[in-house]
Amino acid sequence: MAKILIVDDESAIRKSLRDILEFEKYHVDEAADGLDCMVKLKKDKYDVVVMDIKMPKMDGMDTLERIQSFDPFLPVIMISGHGTIDIAVDAVRKGAFDFIAKPPDLNRLLITVRNAMDRSNLITETKTLKKRVSKKKTEDIVGKSDAISRIKGMIEQVAPTEARVLITGSNGTGKELVARWLHAKSKRTDKSIIEVNCAAIPSELIESELFGHEKGSFTSAHKQRIGKFEQANGGTIFLDEIGDMSMDAQAKVLRALQENKITRVGGEKEIRVDVRVLAATNKDLKKKIAEGKFREDLYHRLAVIIIHVPPLNERAEDIPLLVTHFASMIAGETGTPVREFTAAAMKAMQNLQWTGNIRELRNVVERLIILGGNKISEEDVFKFVMPFDSTLSGT
């Protein structure tokens, strides 16, 4: 049963609202002011808060700000007998789900509560799905080379801490996988890891993507947007390819890291966020700093711990393990028998130059399984790999 908290200093109003909502089969609790509201929210879980603006001790606007920092996804419906358009706009701008004038219209109130419940349920379902997807994505880090052993050891040491980590390496080496394992083995594993590909977002949209925006803050801002930092609150944010981030966006990220606060585009209220930041890049950030294209202060904020993921060509001894791993994975995905690779085929794979690293190797294994024989031979490697990709050539 959905739980609703009514916050109003007038007992008659609380009773009236309680009767209406309980008739609709909601479980209802009451609070006489903002302080009482915060006490109840810290003790119990509610789906919606219906709150008056004018109250003693702590008024509705101040309480709304505290709720936003405490639980930014909890829908709060503001009510007031002194309602004006300016007050309504201010309430919504500060994070209220909606504003209703007193005495509340019965149908309007119930529709607004149902809409708030729908959003609350959607957010809960989204969080659950993100956790499931995050867990599914956490594949094994395959390999027994010294380089991979060192990475696994660093993950075990660093993951339980709150230290920020900068993951470096070429495209396709598996930097994302390292980030997911750092999250999976952290104390935040029950929360989401939110991944942001900084290179894929246009510079003019990166601020909105990271920090969100308020409705009407720019031409296409038709509704409020919750940014990635808020979505990751309590969990981890992974800033992939951070070397491609604009200088303006770097300044905003630096401020968020320094103060643990963000402000939505077009908003005025600072929102406190608790996130662990992991970042990755295929760029030489020290070179970019020298060129004036990356902030040195941001680099030092991010690079508390540096984990370098080496290219596949530097750990050729891991290729047979990776090939076997991908062959088994592809068989599971397609429902086909696992294809075996001969020793000569494995040796041929080790002698190729993998410019695309792990990502390229996985694609090549899938190609060989589709085009090769029941047992993948050295001949299959030379027949179906070399002619298709000029970047792969023998050492």
Give the span between the Cα atoms of 375 and 30, in whole angstroms: 70
Same domain? 90 vs 227: no
Query: How confident is the prediction along the chain (395 residues), in pLDDT tens digits per residue?
Result: 789 999 999 999 999 999 999 999 999 999 999 999 999 998 998 999 999 998 988 889 999 988 987 788 899 999 988 767 778 788 888 889 999 988 888 888 999 999 988 877 777 676 666 655 555 556 889 999 999 999 999 999 999 999 999 999 999 999 999 999 999 999 999 999 999 999 888 878 888 999 998 888 877 777 888 999 999 999 999 999 999 998 988 998 999 999 999 999 888 888 999 999 999 999 999 999 999 999 999 999 999 999 999 999 999 999 999 999 999 999 988 888 899 999 999 999 999 999 999 999 999 999 999 999 889 999 999 999 876 665 666 54
Same domain? 272 vs 346: no
Same domain? 110 vs 144: no
Give the span between the Cα atoms of 389 and 353, in whole angstroms: 11
Give the span between the Cα atoms of 94 and 96, in whole angstroms: 6
Same domain? 170 vs 75: no
Question: Is the Cβ–Cβ distance between 116 and 77 less than 8 Å?
Answer: yes
Could you tell me the CATH number of the domain that includes residue 104?
3.40.50.2300
Same domain? 88 vs 234: no
Same domain? 68 vs 150: no
Q: Which of 79, 98, 126 is the last residue of a domain?
A: 126
Give the span between the Cα atoms of 123 and 246, in whole angstroms: 30
Same domain? 253 vs 326: no
| pLDDT attached to residue 131 | 55
Asked if residue 248 belongs to a domain, the reply is: yes
Structure tokens at 271: 């929102």
- In terms of Cβ atoms closer than 10 Å to its own Cβ (0-12, 13-18, 19+), residue 299 is buried
| pLDDT attached to residue 389 | 63
Give the span between the Cα atoms of 12 and 369, in whole angstroms: 73
pTM to 2 decimal places? 0.67
Asked if residue 133 belongs to a domain, the reply is: no
| pLDDT attached to residue 334 | 83
Nearest Cα neighbor of 89 from 216, 277, 231 is 216
Same domain? 145 vs 267: yes
Q: Which of 308, 328, 347 is the last residue of a domain?
A: 308
Phi, psi of 240, rounded to the nearest 5 degrees: -80, 145
Same domain? 193 vs 274: yes
Structure tokens at 331: 């068989």
Asked if residue 393 belongs to a domain, the reply is: no
| pLDDT attached to residue 369 | 93
Same domain? 171 vs 240: yes
Asked if residue 394 belongs to a domain, the reply is: no
Could you tell me the CATH number of the domain that includes residue 181?
3.40.50.300
Asked if residue 94 belongs to a domain, the reply is: yes
Same domain? 154 vs 282: yes
By residue range, what is the domain housing residue 101?
3-126
Give the span between the Cα atoms of 23 and 74, in whole angstroms: 23
Q: What is the chain's alpha carbon radius of gyration, rounded to the nearest angstrom?
A: 27
Phi, psi of 348, rounded to the nearest 5 degrees: -65, -40
Domain count along the chain: 3
Could you tell me the CATH number of the domain that includes residue 341?
1.10.8.60
Asked if residue 131 belongs to a domain, the reply is: no
Question: Is the Cβ–Cβ distance between 376 and 369 less than 8 Å?
Answer: yes
Give the span between the Cα atoms of 79 and 99, in whole angstroms: 6
Same domain? 334 vs 298: no
Residue 165, CB-side half-sphere exposure with 13 Å CA sphere: 28
Asked if residue 81 belongs to a domain, the reply is: yes
Asked if residue 395 belongs to a domain, the reply is: no
Question: Is the Cβ–Cβ distance between 370 and 380 less than 8 Å?
Answer: no
Helix, strand, or coil here: 101?
Answer: strand
Q: Which of 74, 105, 126 is the last residue of a domain?
A: 126
